[in-house]
Structure 1
Amino acid sequence: MNVKKIFLFAVPAIIIISAAIGWYQYNKPQQDVASLSAQAVTAENLFKEYSSNEPAANKTYLNKALEVSGKVLEVKQTQQAQQQVILDSGDPMFGIACTLDQPALNLKPGDKVTIKGICTGYLNDVILIKSLLLN
C-alpha cells in the first residue's frame, strides 16, 4: 500500500519537474554574440589546435565566443537556408565552418575576413554558430 502511494505521487512529480525544465530550456534567451567579449585567433591556429589535441582545445575554446580571422574558402547555404562561410585552415579537406546569423552578400572565396561566433567543437571542421561578419 505504501509503495503505491509513493509511486502515485512520484511519477507525476517527476513528469511535472521534467516538463518545467524542458519549458525553461526551450524558452531560455539566446546569447547576443555581438555583446560578448571574444578571444582572437587565426583560422589556421584554431584548426591546428583542434586537430592536434581536441580535449585541450575544447577546454580553451568550447562554448566561448571567438573572433576568427582568415581567408574565405567557400560560401554556401545550410539545409536550414542559413549562409555558411568556410574559412581556410591550411588543410585541403577541412576548415572552420561559420554559420552566419545575417547573410553577407558580397563575400567570395579569397576574401580576408574576421568572423565572431560561438565555438561548438570539432567535427572534421571546427564549428562556429551564431556568427557575425566583423569586416
Structure 2
Amino acid sequence: MRNIVFTLGCAFVAFLAGVLVYLYNQPQRPLVSETGIPVTAIELYAQFSSDHLQANQVYLNKVLEVSGQVLAIKNTPYAARIVVLNTGDPMYGIACTLNKLQSKNRLVKPGEKIIIKGICSGYVSNVMLTNSSLVN
C-alpha cells in the first residue's frame, strides 16, 4: 500500500513540475499586433487607487498604452529593467517591466515623457504592466 501511495505521489510531483516548466517557457504574448487602450499614468493610477475592483474589470489582462513622465528606472539582476511612470503620488507609480528586447535597445531617462505599451497585471500599491515596450 505504501509503495502505491509513494508512486502516485512521485507521479503527481513530476506532473506538477512538467506543468510549471511548460508555463515558464511559454512564449510571451506578442503585443505588436494588438491595439492598446490609451490612458495616462495619472488617470490609470487614480482609477485603481479609488476603486481597484472596477479598474480590474476594465484593465486587468488587457493591453494598455500608458503615457506619462518617467519617474525612475530600476535595474534588477533577475529580470529586465523596470520603468516607473509618475502618477503624482510620490510613493507609488505605474511599474512597467520591459520585455528583454526593449530592455537592451533603448535607454530612457527620468523626466522623459514616453508612451509605453504593456499588459496590465494588477494593482499592488503600484499598477503593474508586464511585457512592456516603448511606443515612442
TM-score range, shorter chain: 0.7 to 0.9
Bigger Rg, which one:
1
My pick for the range that moved more, 40-49 or 23-32, is 23-32
User: Does structure 1 residue 122 correspond to structure 2 residue 120?
Assistant: no
Distance in 2 separating the partners of 1:74 and 1:22: 33
Name the SS of the counterpart of 2:66 in structure 1. strand
Aligned length in residues: 132
Which sections of structure 2, spanning at least 5 residues, go unmatched? Answer: none
User: What one-letter code is carried by the residue in structure 2 that aligns with 1:57?
Assistant: A
Contact 2:42/2:86 (CA < 8 Å) preserved in 1? Answer: yes
What is residue 3 of structure 1 aligned with on the other side? none
Q: How does 1:1-135 map to 2 (within 5 A)?
A: 21-22=19-20, 24-101=22-99, 102-103=102-103, 104-105=106-107, 107-135=108-136
Cα displacement (A) at 1:49: 0.4
Write the letter of the residue equivalent to 1:25: L
Unaligned runs of 5+ in 1: 1-6
CA distance in structure 2 between the aligned counterparts of 1:16 and 1:81, rounded to whole angstroms: 27
Deviation at 1:34, TM superposition (A): 1.9
Do 1:34 and 1:132's aligned partners in 2 also have CA atoms closer than 8 Å? no
CA shift, 1:36, in A, is 1.7
Q: Distance in 2 between matches of 1:24 and 1:17?
A: 11
Q: 1:88 to 1:17 in 2, by over 3 A?
A: same
TM-score by length of 2: 0.80
TM-score by length of 1: 0.80
- Runs of at least 4 residues of structure 1 off by over 6 A? 10-17
